[in-house]
Amino acid sequence: MNDPSEPFSMAILAGGFGTRLGGDKASTEIAGKPLLHWMAEIVATLGNELLVSRRVDQSLPSHPSIEWREVPDRRADAGPLAGIEALLLAARNDLVLAVATDLPLARPELLRFIVGACEGVDAAMPLLNGVAQPLMAAYRRSVLPVIQEQLDEGDGRIRYIMPKLNGRHLAEAELSTYDPALESFTNVNRPEDLARVAKILEGRRRSAERED
């Protein structure tokens, strides 16, 4: 495995409004707990700090056993790119792995690979079916000027930062080594997604209980 060779911060982007889902994504319950809790349990032990970005007016559901540092967006209604800006400014480490709060099937081994792939570059971002996946990607603080310039221009399209960086796209063949079905990229955008992913999580829970 291409493990990270340096300390890094783990960050969850939890500021999504969940318009298509019908409610705040971070607080939306799936298989018995909020989406944010599923993500926190996946990533809590990966980096040496855990950050969670949020909207300024947003309240997050606290976890009974996992602590994180909340990082409010510095720009209102500017999307996930503003969340990444705030996280990079707040992180103790130069390297940050950012993941969306609605990816509860993410595999820790894949996340570690993405961080390790950021060695020597500004950012490491998966490419799925030719489409960049910026909400499960590793970023260095060196990307801040590009992000800030784009936000200052009123452009929050996060995928458009990569051509301006010394970045690395990660091909499906590399990613599938750590997640053969690429389930990690299954996000929860709509009620039907919520129902489908809930069934998968419940099945995993039952399997784990049988093994215990």
pLDDT one-digit tens code per residue, 160-196 = 888 899 999 999 999 999 999 999 999 998 889 999 9
Residue 2 domain-assigned (yes or no): no
pLDDT of residue 7: 94
Residue 3 domain-assigned (yes or no): no
The per-residue pLDDT for range 38-82, each reduced to its tens digit, is: 999 999 999 999 999 999 989 999 999 999 999 999 888 888 999
How many structural domains comprise the chain? 1
pLDDT of residue 10: 97
Residue 56's domain spans which residues? 9-211
Residue 99 domain-assigned (yes or no): yes
Q: Which long-range contacts (CB under 8 A, 24 or more apart) does 140-148 make?
A: 140/94, 140/95, 140/96, 141/88, 141/91, 141/94, 141/96, 142/94, 143/88, 144/85, 144/88, 144/89, 147/81, 147/84, 147/85, 147/88, 148/85
pLDDT of residue 22: 67
Q: Read off the CATH number of the domain in which 120 is found.
A: 3.90.550.10
- pTM beyond 0.85: yes
